[in-house]
Amino acid sequence: MNRKNHIKNYIFATRPWSFPASAMPALVAFTFVFYLHQTTEFVSVSWVNGVLATVGAVIFHAAGNLFGDYYDYVNEVDKDKKTGEVPMLVSGLFQPKTMFVFGITVVTIGIILGLYLMSQSGLPLLIIGLIGTLCAVFYYKLKYIALGELVIFVAFSQLIALGVVYVMTSQLVWSSLLVIAPVGMLVAAILHANNTRDSILDKKAGIKTQAIILGIDGSKVFYQTLLLAPYILIAIIVKFNILHPYSFAVLLSFPIALRSIKKMKQVRLSSLRDIETLDVDTAKLVTIFSLLLIAGNVVGALF
């Protein structure tokens, strides 16, 4: 293997196409601070820290992907007959030890960056970062006992928002948890779509996911709830003047949500391949919804 392909495989192993799930919540939090700053809530803001925190969120996401692939492989959860992308270990492009060491390296880089940001902001970031690190490293254990969606919601919305806002302002802004919650629900829906698609094989592998516990009908209801609740929550947030009414721009993404809901409603246990790309479709919804919310924050701050 030449050096170029070797580097490319290491990049692919982190699954960079999934990074919007962490980058978008961080950017929503970043622009929420911009909105608050422009409305004179915060006089002093460290924009550089916000950028670094966004990078840090993606780094921990990459580490979580690496550890997840490693443990799914060694626990024989990932099979080459699974639908969707073929993991790097299953394809033979990586050895398990290499993947594990790579994960340790990436998470160490994230920890170093986090310690620097803590020195620039304050001790509360240590607690936020510690919980985030545990989520990245031990996510697989929680996923196997049907807590995957909850961990994803906490890690990819609540922790990211609280951390980004804190390093920028040196204040714990609790309203940021509410602002980011709609995006967090959509990110959790990505995992739920994936788990619903793989529910039969996951059950054979001896693990439990929400999709297995709920069954196909319950999974449909849960998925629909995760996609519809964010729009209701945005209306509540705007009603309480936490965000500007321009945040209603997210409604432009609603037809995409409806298409994904329709696809999930039509699937049967015997035809799970029909939702083979539903996790990808949901990830696209996360990106578009987040970009519209980001635009609402920026426009609301400037006008």
Mean pLDDT on 23-52: 92
**What are the structure tokens assigned to 233, written together?**
């929550």
| Residue given tokens 């545990």 in the structure block | 134
What pLDDT does 162 receive? 97
**DSSP letter (8 states) at residue 292:** H
What pLDDT does 82 receive? 53
User: What are residue 208's phi and psi, to 5 degrees?
Assistant: -115, 135
Model confidence at 261: pLDDT above 80: yes
Cα–Cα distance between 156 and 181 in angstroms, integer? 9
**What are the structure tokens assigned to 75, written together?**
């626990």
Cα–Cα distance between 93 and 99 in angstroms, integer? 10
What pLDDT does 19 receive? 94
- 37 Rama class: left (phi>0) / alpha (psi -120 to 50) / beta: alpha
- 171 Rama class: left (phi>0) / alpha (psi -120 to 50) / beta: beta
Model confidence at 81: pLDDT above 90: no
**169-189 tens-digit pLDDT:** 999 999 999 999 999 999 999
**DSSP letter (8 states) at residue 83:** S
**108-137 tens-digit pLDDT:** 999 999 999 999 999 999 999 999 999 988
Closest CA to 187 of 219, 148, 133: 148
Range of the domain at 178: 3-302
Q: Is there a contact between 57 and 23 (Cβ–Cβ < 8 Å)?
A: yes
CA 140 to the chain's CA centroid: 15
Mean pLDDT on 83-90: 64
What pLDDT does 281 receive? 95
Mean pLDDT on 262-279: 93
What pLDDT does 2 receive? 59
Cα–Cα distance between 42 and 30 in angstroms, integer? 13
Characterize 127-155 residue by residue with b for buried, 16 or more Cβ atoms within 10 angstroms of its Cβ, and e for exposed: ebbebbbebbbebbebbbebbbbebbbbb
User: Where does the pLDDT of residue 66 fall: very low under 50, low under 70, confident under 90, or very high at 90 and above?
Assistant: very high
What pLDDT does 150 receive? 96
| Number of domains making up the chain | 1
CA 16 to the chain's CA centroid: 12
Q: Is there a contact between 210 and 219 (Cβ–Cβ < 8 Å)?
A: yes
199: CB partners within 8 A, 6+ apart: 209, 211, 212, 216, 219, 272
On whether the pTM is more than 0.85, the answer is yes
Cα–Cα distance between 149 and 258 in angstroms, integer? 21
**221-244 tens-digit pLDDT:** 999 999 999 999 999 999 999 999
Helical pair 160-169 and 175-197, crossing angle rounded to 10 deg: 150
What pLDDT does 102 receive? 95
**DSSP letter (8 states) at residue 41:** S
Q: For residue 255, what is the domain's CATH number?
A: 1.10.600
Beta-bridge mates of residue 145:
208
**142-174 tens-digit pLDDT:** 989 999 999 999 999 999 999 999 999 999 999
Lowest mean pLDDT among 78-87, 104-113, 208-217: 78-87
What pLDDT does 79 receive? 63
Cα–Cα distance between 93 and 6 in angstroms, integer? 9
Model confidence at 50: pLDDT above 70: yes
User: Where does the pLDDT of residue 40 fall: very low under 50, low under 70, confident under 90, or very high at 90 and above?
Assistant: confident
What pLDDT does 24 receive? 97
Model confidence at 43: pLDDT above 90: no
Lowest mean pLDDT among 65-79, 84-98, 143-157: 84-98
Model confidence at 86: pLDDT above 60: no
212: CB partners within 8 A, 6+ apart: 146, 195, 199, 202, 203
- Residue 171, CA distances (Å) to 33, 48, 163, 183, 225 in order: 11, 16, 10, 22, 32
Cα–Cα distance between 146 and 58 in angstroms, integer? 24
What pLDDT does 80 receive? 54
